[in-house]
């Protein structure tokens, strides 16, 4: 089990665009496992590689309900190929923006295409919380955070809070 440190705002690596994965080798498999360990440890329901400082297009998630067996998912080079017209408002949080939760409006359903850890191409229709987590995590691969969808006033308040926290703590761990 290897838990990696999760980057927190205002770390600029959270704003970078991640690179496609060319080959699913041992390094990628270890990364996927470490990301799952890190997500379960947090605990969280989704994590994208840039959040552990690796600028590669891979996300992990697990939407199993409490008491259910784990359902780890690894999505490599994921792409949303269809979004629904209808939208839904959900409260979101992010391990890189700890302890804050805000309502965000997003398409209610999406189609996602990705490669799994065995190199198999997968197409999946997602709705409900699954659709929201996919959109949230895939945004991370393009340096987009859910606070970018908030009003400017709310977003600035969040950014200021974390800039201040960084000044007080001096150097950020992780």
| Residues within the interface to Ni ion (CB under 5 A) | 94
Q: Which residues pair with 79 in a beta bridge?
A: 113
Q: Considering beta carbons, is residue 76 or 94 the nearer one to Ni ion?
A: 94
Selection from 62, 50, 47, 52 nearest residue 93 by Cα? 47
Question: Smaller CB distance to Ni ion: residue 94 or 134?
Answer: 94
Evaluate whether 95 touches 47 at the Cβ level (below 8 Å).
yes
**CA atoms of 125 and 109, how far apart (whole Å):** 7
Nearer to Ni ion, 18 or 94 (CB): 94
Place of tokens 């089990």: 1
Tell me the closest approach of the beta carbon of residue 58 to Ni ion, in angstroms: 14
**How far apart are the C-alpha atoms of 31 and 6, rounded to whole Å?**
13
Query: Is residue 137 among the annotated active site residues?
Result: yes
DSSP, res 13: G
Q: Residues 68, 91, 124, 137: which is the catalytic one?
A: 137
CB of 7 to Ni ion, least distance (A): 10
Shortest Cβ distance from residue 105 to Ni ion (Å)? 17
Nearest distance from residue 26's CB to Ni ion, in Å? 27
Count the neighbouring beta carbons within 10 Å of the beta carbon of residue 100. 16
Beta strands in 71-170 (DSSP E): 73-83, 87-94, 97-107, 109-115, 121-127
d(CA 12, CA 79): 23
Catalytic residue list = 137
């Amino acid at each position: 089990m290897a838990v990696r440190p999760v980057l927190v705002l205002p770390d600029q690596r959270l704003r970078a665009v991640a690179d496609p994965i060319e080959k699913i080798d041992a390094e990628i498999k270890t990364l996927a496992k470490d990301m799952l360990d890190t997500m379960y440890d947090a605990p969280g329901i989704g994590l994208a590689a840039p959040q552990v400082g690796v600028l590669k297009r891979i996300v992990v998630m697990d939407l199993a309900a409490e008491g259910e067996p784990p359902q780890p998912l690894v999505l490599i080079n994921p792409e949303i190929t269809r979004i629904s017209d209808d939208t839904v408002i959900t409260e979101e949080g992010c391990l890189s923006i700890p302890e804050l939760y805000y309502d965000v409006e997003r398409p209610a359903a999406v189609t996602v295409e990705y490669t799994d850890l065995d190199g198999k191409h997968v197409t999946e229709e997602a709705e409900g919380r699954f659709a929201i987590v996919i959109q949230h995590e895939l945004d991370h691969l393009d340096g987009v955070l859910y606070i970018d969808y908030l009003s400017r006033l709310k977003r600035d308040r969040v950014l200021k809070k974390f800039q201040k926290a960084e000044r007080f703590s001096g150097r950020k761990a992780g």
